[in-house]
Structure 1
Amino acid sequence: MSIAAETVNANGGSHQKFLLQSFPLFSGACISPLTVAYTTYGKPNADRNNFVLVLPGTSNTRHGALLHIGPGRAFDTGRFCVVSIDAIGGGDSTQPGDGLGVDFPPYSVADMVLAQHALALHLTKGSPLAAVAGASMGAFQALEWVVRFPHLVSAAVLLVPAARAGQLFKETVRQMRRIIELDPAWQSGNYRSNPIAGLRAAGHHYFPWTVTDAYLESVTPETLAEDTQAVADNFALWDAWSLIRRYEASSQFDISAGRGSLDNVLANIRARLLIMPCHQDRLLGVDSAKMIHRLAPKSDYVEIDSLRGHLAWRPIAESKETRLIWRTVSQWL
């Protein structure tokens, strides 16, 4: 399987949608109505305090972490009721591609978490969550959860995380948008047909930053073409404004925004954190993950060694990275 492919087989889960008639964003804009799609695996216990929220990466849907979910895996459905969520702006949740396009308001990671909070209260009936978890932008959301709602979540699993998006990621996202805008179908953002060629080109641009130079040099040309095409194909499944708004939200993440110094924000986290960066991650780097570990009072740190870089979190059956994640997360939870 290509390391860039997303698993979309969600057999065994219960697909549901949560509706908010009106959802105000932190910007002052409003989404009316807002639908949040999710899939549950496993069953809630009598106290409804065994829910684990699994939150998506930037271009992932709620199915992206499916192979991490199940008996004996990272998120064990024999112990937990695992809820995999489509964040605002993607998957089957409300997004620009539903019709608003350019008029869909920009949103933030904090907005995603606020909507998830409403869903969580609906599911748990007010009981605390067992944990929140995610990779990349999913880790951004998990970190936002433990800072914004410390009374509702006592543990978070952060895969390939950062406390704020770095300049490399920000510039990569800016270039992706410029590439999409070069497609003649873009029509200054008022397109009648999705600019597929631009989306595919943006995917080709993005992929090399998600892995390492050593990986790019170690695989065959055929495998490299397959990996790159998988990202291009994934991007082409997105509406252009949906993809742009999602990546802009991710690239603007900063857990300290509006909260004072980054050091103080991290030092005041009360939840237990499991921090699992990849040593070779160049998209988000590893220094920010080390800072989270250094400052968060109750954190554990396990570094992944992988030429797959930022994509080391992606579940691939029998890979050493996936085995490490399953073993470490299941034991830690």
Structure 2
Amino acid sequence: MSASFASALDAAREAAAAQHYPEGALYVVATPIGNLADITLRALHLLQLADTVACEDTRHTQSMLRAYGIDKGPARLLAVHQHNEAEAAQEVVRRLQQGQRVAYVSDAGTPGVSDPGARLVAAVHAAGLRAMPLPGASSITTALSAAGAVASDGDSSSFVFAGFLPSKSAERASAIARQLASEPRCVVLLEAPHRIGELAQALATLGDRPVTLARELTKQFEEITTQPAHALGAWLDGAPQRSRGEFVVLLHPVALAGDDAGDTLRVLRLLLAELPLKTAVRLAAEITGAPRNGLYDAALAWKRAQDGGEDGDTAEDDSATAR
């Protein structure tokens, strides 16, 4: 155990032990997204109390528990991850029916939010059993709190969680063009380091729309920046470490009357209906002032979606020629 958490366990017992923790219930426990000190006192107490800790990765969770001074043997850890969630949920239900308290944790953050957990909770409800949330860290709300994502009309009251966009470039560009560009609310995305550059290139179609990149949240090398969408690629290329770590990406909200990105893409779509792709892209860039590369990506995605095609070398060569 880290000595720094010895007093935390005492504080957890003092603050939370008098509360009621019914048997035969699933406790959905949020855990830190990076900084171990972000655990809650109630979570620490419940993790000590639980008969079983169901978890996304037993090795990761065992290491976390030991850092807090909580000792759970292998028999009291149960793997519940995206590949076995439906089957493992039945074992959790069986243990709950025996009267156990079962805690569920994902590798980081709040279970069921872009992490396994939703199917488990659904199975528990279907069995007539209780699921109790223990709130805590979430990369989504953490990024939102530091982004200052406010529309030009002052509205900051709502956001849309879109999670991970498709990994294939044509599908990703199509999702941005068809769904996100005309969405006036703040949009929250997640992305892995090996794809963040491709996502930045695809988001360039949004022109000057502010985008916040938040990487390595709560960790030593945490970095949060807000850039115009068309400048994201250049910012990432500015230093090697900027493409490392897990990312939360926020598209800032826009006022409905000033949806320039949506207007740009509507112009492009109208031109594509009448003109060859390269000509439509060139004219759309001249009319709207939007970056030509981003418009080309959007146009190519629409064309592929209509043709039912996949990414390929021919399309990539055509893209390079057009730029």
TM over 0.5: no
Query: Over alpha carbons, which structure has the higher Rg?
Result: 2
Larger RCO (alpha carbons 8 Å, 6+ apart): 1
Higher normalized helix content (fraction of residues):
2
TM-score of the aligned structures, taking structure 1 as reference length: 0.28
